Chain A
Amino acid sequence: MFFNALLIALREIRRNLMRAFLTVLGVIIGVAAVITMVTLGQGTTQAVKNQISSLGSNLLVLRPGSGFGPRSTSAGVPRFTTQDAQAVMEQVSGVAAVAPVAQTSLSTIYLQTARTTQITGSTPDYFQIGKWTIGEGRLFTDLDLRSGAAVCVIGETVRRQLFGSENPIGAKIRIGKSSCEVIGLLTAKGQSGMGDQDDTIVVPLSTLQRRLTGRTSARSVNQINISAEDNTNSDAMIGEITSLMRQRRNLSPNEDDNFSVFDTRQIAETLSSSTKMMTMLLAAVAGVSLLVGGIGIMNIMLVSVTERTREIGIRLAIGARAREVLLQFLVEAITLSCVGGVVGIGIALGLCYFLAQVIQVPFQFDTRINVIAFIFSAAVGVLFGFTPARRAAKLDPIEALRHE
């Protein structure tokens, strides 16, 4: 009986290719939309996570002014100094390492190639706090720091753009008005939504202050990076740092803080929760398209219901039992839905693979969403394909034949 139903169902599909195609199209669009949206959304979430974890965990950043991002204000606020960094290292408990960081943008030239690069001046601890590892050559040392040696460590992007296929180690590049020897190449962290972390040159803080930016801002730095020891309570630590800095900056109790402490873990949580929300939003939009696909299927089924009801009437009249007719319709609906589901998944994966490269997020195959989208679309197809048949198969053949 099942083989018969399959045979009849396949004949019926072959006979009505246009109807079958339109039905399948609804399923394909629905499945492809949901899978693409969710997969790309998850890729974005993953990209943000990767980026955050590459910043370093347990990382606190101390900056003058208030706020972080576009509304931050630091105008007229005293900057931090290397002494502030020293004080944090000595007086706050649970601190693993502290790195004062000064940054400036300068033109960098190697032979005929010039570009503007963000130059970071810091101490050797900067690499450990920021989870940077050396790819080739070496990092600068405390000795380089003390002597203000003209050495620099470059990121992968800088290497690619300035040196191309040449070996950068030992080469001299011009940064601003001085010349610097490249002693190390940092392992790439990769590109992600928040910008290119590998587009960087790191020099000893003293080198930046003395050679590159001049003596005017000798001791001041842009920010202080602090890494906490494992298992420290970052809230308590932020409290300690805040009171220490208020004291060092002579703020009276009724004055607001003129600096801020950021905890990357908190930023990470905020960011990943917002990308999760975005994923859910995308999934909701995609769910709507799945629904629209379903309505499309239903439409086609309703349009053909008169013809199909007559078909059912004919089949019943020549001796088919209701359950045989139903089985045929079920097989038809399942076949179409499954074909649609598989094609939809294929298109979605191709699309994801392509789009993930375009928007530069990792492509992650998520079995769960594929299965869910497939089952849901198949259910929609079967429901809409099967329901009119169920109604018709209950009729007396003569009533079904008279249907208009």
Chain B
Amino acid sequence: MSVAPSTPPPLIELRRLTKTYGKGDAAFQALRGINLTINKGEFVAVMGPSGSGKSTLMNLLGCLDTPTTGSYLYQGIPVETLDADQRSLLRRHALGFIFQGFNLLARTSALENVELPLLYRGIPRNERHALARDALASVGLPTKMRNTPAELSGGQQQRVAIARAIVTGPSTLFADEPTGNLDSSTTEDIMELLTRLNEDRGITVLMVTHEDDVASYAKRTVRVKDGHIESDLSKAK
């Protein structure tokens, strides 16, 4: 790729990114210098053994956490220079995140959970309801809107979490093991949903997974080991 001035910056650009947890003797370096470039519209799977730093990397990419050293450019914006509020606004307007462990609000209906990001965007009530309903319908949960997480199965909770992540129409979607604890048919449904979001709506998708058949939905697979990128393979067209 040529670096002509007219070329728009890549969506995500990581330069020698590191993350160290803890201090002093207890310090642990979870990421040891990650260089990674992701363009708009890609569907990337991140794989690697447990504890290799996948979630850490996703949290940094999703602007939920701050790197220890190195630089992270999101659409050319140096994220490490943003303060907490600015990162919040970036998440609010551009990013969607699906967590390894759902992270839905307890005792809160599916509809209200999905509405939450819209509430912070200041979207009026009627439009908010309509958007949340559409999102729930698009993940195949049109009948469970009034149920709270405790009344939903794991797969249904995961779908609510996905609906919440996509309801704002983010340009990038981060998914940390979206099918981690789901059976194979639900996994298939959810992967087809993510593929559709990527192909039909042009949403860039980054997804962590352990499973090869899940990763096969993605067009590119990045393998992480001990905080390094071990391999980075794109599927032949």
Chain A residues with CB under 8 Å of chain B are 1, 4, 7-8, 11, 15-16, 307, 310-311, 313-324, 396-399, 401
Contact = CB atoms under 8 A, between A and B. Distances in A.
B64 A318 contact: no
Contacts of B64: 317, 396-398
B92 A319 contact: yes
Nearest to A11: B112
Instruction: Select the residue from B92, B116, B121, B168 with max chain A CB neighbours within 10 A.
Output: B116
A365 to B, nearest CB: 41
Contacts of B106: 307, 311
Given A15-B108, A16-B107, A401-B99, A320 B66 contact: no
Contacts of A318: 91-92, 97, 116-117, 120, 164
Nearest to A316: B88
Contacts of A399: 65
Contact of B117 (A319, A323, A324): A319
Contacts of B164: 318
Contacts of B121: 319
Report the interface size class on chain B.
20 to 34
B173 to A, nearest CB: 13
B65 A396 contact: yes
B103 interface: yes
A327 to B, nearest CB: 12
A94 to B, nearest CB: 79
Contacts of A7: 119
Contact of B93 (A314, A316, A319, A397): A319
B140 to A, nearest CB: 21
B183 interface: no
Contacts of B93: 319
29 contacts: A8-B119, A15-B108, A314-B103, A314-B104, A316-B88, A317-B97, A317-B103, A318-B91, A318-B97, A318-B116, A318-B120, A319-B89, A319-B92, A319-B93, A319-B117, A319-B120, A319-B168, A320-B88, A320-B92, A321-B89, A322-B84, A322-B88, A323-B85, A396-B64, A396-B65, A396-B66, A396-B84, A397-B65, A401-B103
A317 B117 CA distance: 9
Nearest to B56: A398
B174 to A, nearest CB: 10
A8 B113 CA distance: 12
Q: Is the interface of A mostly helix, strand, loop or mixed?
A: helix
Interface of B: 59, 62, 64-66, 84-85, 88-89, 91-93, 95, 97, 99, 103-108, 112, 116-117, 119-122, 164, 168
A15 B65 contact: no
A7 B85 CA distance: 21
Given A4-B122, A396-B66, A314 B88 contact: no
List 4 tightest A-B contacts by C-beta distance, closest first. A319-B92, A319-B91, A318-B117, A398-B65
Nearest to A17: B107
B112 A310 contact: no
B58 to A, nearest CB: 10
A398 B168 CA distance: 21
A311 B105 contact: yes
Given A7-B119, A315-B116, A319-B168, 10 more contacts: A313-B103, A314-B103, A314-B104, A317-B91, A318-B91, A318-B117, A318-B164, A319-B92, A322-B88, A397-B65
Nearest to A14: B107
Contacts of A11: 108, 112
A13 B20 CA distance: 38
B54 to A, nearest CB: 14
Instruction: Select the residue from A4, A11, A320 with max chain B CB neighbours within 10 A.
Output: A320
A322 B87 CA distance: 11
Contacts of A4: 119-120, 122
A397 B88 CA distance: 9
A397 B97 CA distance: 12
Contacts of A316: 88
A251 B86 CA distance: 96
Contacts of A319: 88-89, 91-93, 95, 117, 120-121, 168
Nearest to A314: B103
Contacts of B168: 319
Nearest to A307: B106
A399 B59 CA distance: 11
A7 B95 CA distance: 24
B59 A321 contact: no
A317 B64 CA distance: 6
Nearest to B60: A398
Contacts of B65: 396-399
A22 to B, nearest CB: 16
A320 B92 CA distance: 7
